[in-house]
Structure 1
Amino acid sequence: MVLRNLGSSITNALKKLVGATTVDADLIRELKNDLLKALLAADVKLEIAIKVADYVEERALKEELPPGIPRQKHIVSIVHDQLVKVMGAQEEKLNITPGKTNTLLFVGIQGSGKTTCVAKVANWLNKRGMKPSMVCADTDRPGAYEQLKQLGDKIHVPVYGDPEAKNAIKLAQKGVAEFAKKKREVILIDTAGRHRKERAMLKEMHDIAKKIEPDEIILVIDGTLGQQAYEQARAFAAATDIGSIVVTKLDGSAKGGGALSACAATKAPIKFIGVGEKVDDFEKFDPTGFVGRLLNMGDIEALLESVKAAQIEPDEEAIKAFMTGKFTLRDMYAQMENIGKMGSIGKLLSFLPGFSQGLPEGLEDTSEENMKKFMCMMESMTADELNEPSIIKSSRVDRIAKGSGCTQAEVKQLLKQFFQMRKMMKQMKKGFGRRGAKIPNIGNLNALQKGMDIPKKYRRGK
């Protein structure tokens, strides 16, 4: 989970509050200090962190309780709402108009993952039925065109560029003209990475924007930068009109709060976050859903969006078996094929209440690579073993291990995770904790596939 340390720190602070018999000024002050420490540890800018903590304290002490709502629950809601506000308040969409050619200009410092980010946005658009194209206007970095071309071939998106060209402005103009002629719906332009102190490079960025007049300029911020992100973002905002932000590398960063503060410097919303190296490790940024996962409350709407983007066709009987904890290894194999399109079991469960900050014991090792290994083991099993895993004893484990090229310990690990998952799904069906959250039923998933509205209980409050 992105910013897991920040989320667990805030959640632990809230647990003290929820578990208290009485809520007084001292307890609220303690919550304020814990919240401030958690935000600063995640490299959120000091002024922003203080503003959030002070606002939570003021509302918690002075605000009248809504009828029938316990004070503890009301304060949790205050913390949630203020974090959402800091991160942009509401989800913002890309500035794309259907039926016309749209241009998106990507800017950012060197090493921010900008070129990969351009491909991720193109892939995201491609999966939603649009016709994206990419232009390499980076004449500064050796291999820039080759990298973008390789990514374009992988996601089946055309790329324009010239490794020999020296004039980035003319190159961008030619690329836009070429794809506009071919009636490509969205043209994404990758530019050279630049530092806030490189005045010539910042001027080039300004000149490209002036010549091609993009519909939106997207600033790509490295999630590992910490508080430096604020100054970098401010310099880019001074040089050109930043319309939105993409934060990359948030999956492995404890300092992502600094990058999230960048929206305060640019007054531009964060629209996407990068959560891994692969082109599919990319999420639309919704402040409400993000904070929900941060506080271990889950994000069902994002889960349904991922299912739709992966073009998964739900099998009613199989999912019903999963949701009641009555599935077999054969069912698990079929679902692993679907889950593989979404990344991993860990990514899938991160959207569910109670699992946003980590997986239950026995399910930690669920990477895409391990899922493929598990599937290989299942392919070495008999029909009886797939249908009734409890019959798999030592001699069968040995045979399966040899047939799949794995160790006996790995086969035992697969079985352990299978039974652990069955147990977990039964618990999920009953609901989680005091919030009583439940996973969506098959009807909800099928409704989504048919383009119907998401059921009201899974929608975010807007």
Structure 2
Amino acid sequence: MESLRSGLLSVLEKVKNSVILDTKEVDSIIRELQRVLLKADVDVRLVFELSEKIKKKFFSREIPPGFSKRDVLIKILYDELVSLLGGENATPYTLGRMPYKIMLVGIEGSGKTTTAAKLAKYLKENGYSVGLIAADTYRPGAYEQLQQLATKIGVSFYGDPQCKDPVRIVEEGVKVLEGRGVQVFIIDTAGRHKDEVSLMQEVSEIYEKLKPDDVILVVDATQGKGVAKQAIAFKEKVPLGHVVVTKLDGSAKGGGALSAVASTGAKVAFIGTGEKLDDFEAFDPYKFVARLLGMPDLEGLLRKFQALEEHEKERARLAAAGKITLLDLKEQLLEIKKLGPLSKVLEMLGGPPIAVKGSLEGGEKEIDKWIAVLNSMTEEELLKPEIIDRSRMTRIARGSGTTVRDVKRLLESYTQMKKIMRQIYRSRRRIQGF
């Protein structure tokens, strides 16, 4: 994944070195991103969809106070890359009621047997009693390999090298391991190709007999966007629950593999990042993208945006409850100023809006005076007007070039406006039957 990481870092470098981030600069950044993703074998359609989303979001979004255009573009890049890798549907891997049966499927050479052991080790370290069942009756040495791995990590094991019926092995294995107190059963099935009809049918038979709680598809990152066809082929035979993407450590096509899996609707549960049994981790697209971008200040930037989003949610909640802050009033007044002369605004509205009626009565100069007063307030005062005492009024008036009387008039109008909002909210609740 190093090539993908270095490519994305070059995109971020272009963002940081940008001057005005106009259409020309943003298009240049998008072209660089496209080159990086296509090199990582991400599907062309997905790349161009992502490009259009980034441009649309960037040019339609207002820059929040305290943030730069660069900050906003980096956040949008981060969000869209997370979405590309299935971030919208990402949930931690959890087990249901015990006993819990997990069936691993995949094509030959995907690293399925090693993944079975890695998963067993991961679950054992999380407090579960785990057993491995060797149901691969085709690959020479599959039984011995899984047995050695089970011994190495200290979990129960069942297999029968004399039996060639995988369904029978699985049924017997579950009985034997249940007797040993095993809670989680991991079944390693034979690797097969999506075009091998008889072997794909065998997957269905094992599923029908075993009725596993989860079917996990193991795919090889070096296959890039080709893993989508594998996921679809297996999904047609069994209810695919999750996916493990292996060999991400050295694959230049890892981005393609992850995005291809996400595009099928399947959830990536784990990733394999090396050959050792510890090179295995739960997949979190948010952390994964943050690691790829590798910006030391990215975490701080994301925290700032998270705080902003929480703040906006709280304001939306208050507005829905019939409450409004001075910050809301300020933004309404600024929006009115953007529309042009007051006379034209009134024509468009068919009369002044209730929420800012008091501010409109005095005309254009009154709006300017109110905005000046509000600009002189701190964010805390805008959000909690009740803290504004005589001393604060004096400071606000001095800073805005107005009088204390002007500040008091604004606060009185604001109080009246809040009463109207509460009445509207209560009326709405009565109508809705609350």
Q: When the two structures are superposed, what TM-score results if normalisation uses the length of structure 1? A: 0.63
Shift of residue 287 of structure 1?
0.6
Q: Which amino acid aligns with 1:104?
A: I
2:200 — aligned with what? 202
Match of 2:139 in 1: 141
Aligned to 2:234: 236
Judged with a 3 Å threshold, the aligned counterparts in structure 2 of structure 1 residues 142 and 434 are, in CA distance, closer, same or farther, namely closer
Per-residue CA deviation, residues 170-227 of structure 1 (Å, 9 max, x unaligned), is 1111112222233311100000000010011111001111111111100000011122
State whether structure 2 residue 22 is matched by structure 1 residue 24.
yes
Matches of 1:7 and 1:252 in 2, distance apart? Answer: 12
Identity of aligned residues (%): 41
Match of 2:70 among 45, 69, 72: 72
Superimposed CA distance per residue, residues 374-416 of structure 1 (whole angstroms, 9 cap, x where no aligned partner):
xxxxxxxxxxxxxxxxxxxxxxxxxxxxxxxxxxxxxxxxxxx
* Residue in structure 2 matched with residue 401 of structure 1 by the alignment: none
Amino acid at match of 1:37: R
In structure 1, the residue matched to 2:121 is: 123
Counterpart selection for 2:31 from 30, 33, 38 = 33
- Contact 2:220/2:246 (8 A) holds in 1: yes
| Rounded Cα–Cα distance in structure 2 between residues aligned with 1:209 and 1:93 | 24
The structure with the greater share of residues assigned to helix is: 2
Q: Could you say if the C-alpha distance between residues 198 and 162 of structure 1 is closer, same or farther in structure 2, counting changes exceeding 3 Å? A: same
Q: 2 CA distance for matches of 1:195 and 1:248?
A: 17
Amino acid at match of 2:108: Q
Q: Report if aligned partners of 2:42, 2:260 keep a CA contact under 8 Å in 1.
A: no
Contact 1:233–1:266 at 8 Å: present in 2 too? yes
- For 1:224 and 1:199, the matched residues in 2 are separated by 24
CA distance in 2, matches of 1:164, 1:434: 56
**What residue identity is the alignment partner of 1:28?**
V
Structure 1 residue 65, shift from structure 2 partner: 2.0
- Following superposition, the deviation at residue 91 of structure 1 comes to 4.0
Q: Distance in 2 between matches of 1:153 and 1:198?
A: 32
Q: What's 1:55 paired with?
A: 53
- Residues 7-406 of structure 1 aligned to structure 2 (within 5 Å): 7-89=5-87, 91-97=90-96, 100-297=98-295, 353=296
Structure 2 Cα separation of the partners of residues 191 and 227 of structure 1: 24
Distance, in Å, in 2 between the alignment partners of 1:434 and 1:291 is: 11
Task: Give the length in aligned residue pairs.
Answer: 306
Q: Deviations over 1:297-348 (max 9, x none)?
A: 4xxxxxxxxxxxxxxxxxxxxxxxxxxxxxxxxxxxxxxxxxxxxxxxxxxx
RMSD between superposed Cα atoms in Å: 2.2
Contact (CA 8 Å) 1:107, 1:192: kept in 2 or not?
Answer: yes
Post-superposition shift, 1:48?
Answer: 1.3
Code of the residue aligned with 1:61 in structure 2: it is F
| Structure 1 contact 230–258 (Cα < 8 Å) conserved | no
- The 3-state SS of whatever aligns with 1:69 is coil
What is the rounded CA distance, in whole Å, between the counterparts of 2:143 and 2:170 in structure 1? 12
When residues 266 and 205 of structure 1 are mapped into structure 2, their CA distance, relative to the original with a 3 A threshold, is: farther
CA distance in 1 between counterparts of 2:216 and 2:299 reads 38
Distance 1:435 1:216, change over 3 A: closer
**Larger C-alpha radius of gyration, 1 or 2?**
2
